[in-house]
Structure 1
Amino acid sequence: MGLEKSLMLFPLLVLVLGLVQPSLGRESSAMKFERQHMDSAGTGSSPTYCNQMMMRREMTNGSCKPVNTFVHEPLAHVHAACSQKNVTCKNGKGNCYKSSSALHITDCRLKGNSKYPNCDYQTSNYQKRIIVACEGNPYVPVHLDASV
């Protein structure tokens, strides 16, 4: 009888695991934001910083991401932007917010003659405010919309 129950429950277990498993390895939007944009410990001062970081953060897999910005501030400072004055995002959505102060950032721009797999980036450092799109509960950055 115990074996019969186990055999009856097995298909149900397979169904549940099939539904749950794909989401286990999926990167959340907030985690992707951190991977692509946060480097609290870095300074971005090396001319090869962007080449190294874009590769390390998996933004040169299959193609070269044309533009990316790294923020060199504590994550809490970036999260704080989500409680600032609301601004319209570039895509017209209303979930963007501008940081209250300028932050240390590094812009990485793909050089014109650069082609995959040899992605070559120009590294530029700035002190600028950032505009981030925020979502979720807790309300956290999920997209870096601009630096101004």
Structure 2
Amino acid sequence: MVPIRKILYATDFSESSAPACAYAQTIAQLADAQIHVLHVIGELADSRRSRIPPEAFEIFEKEIELYVVKEMEEFCRRHLGDTVTYTSETIIGNPCQTILAAAQQQKADLIVMGTHGRTGLEHVLVGSTAERVVRRSSIPVLTVRATP
């Protein structure tokens, strides 16, 4: 069996991501592994970004980052506490690409993330970051469906 030393847990901070966090936590405890908690702030599409003056966009971006850092601290405290060793990071970027890049940078052995379980037209329109990560990842990915 391949040892698991580092788990990348990707979260959007929603309550539907909590079950995936519980799996990451349990696996980390069983394997004596570390968790790297990652939240990706999606980039604005160029068409929307061009409508915002650059100086206003920089202020907006910094405010979002400050807010997300606080949210990350609260999420980790509430869901992980001191039960496992973890680090955390927030990055602005394309969620799928950023998760895969972070997994490689962190030398993760496993990616754990939640999935909203969208189907039908909603799945076609919104897509699934988890699905894209599963298809492109070179390491195992555990997806945990949110409880309805």
Query: Which structure ranks higher in relative contact order (CA pairs < 8 Å, sequence separation ≥ 6)?
Result: 2
TM-score normalised by structure 1 residue count: 0.28
Higher strand fraction (1 or 2): 1
TM-score normalised by structure 2 residue count: 0.28
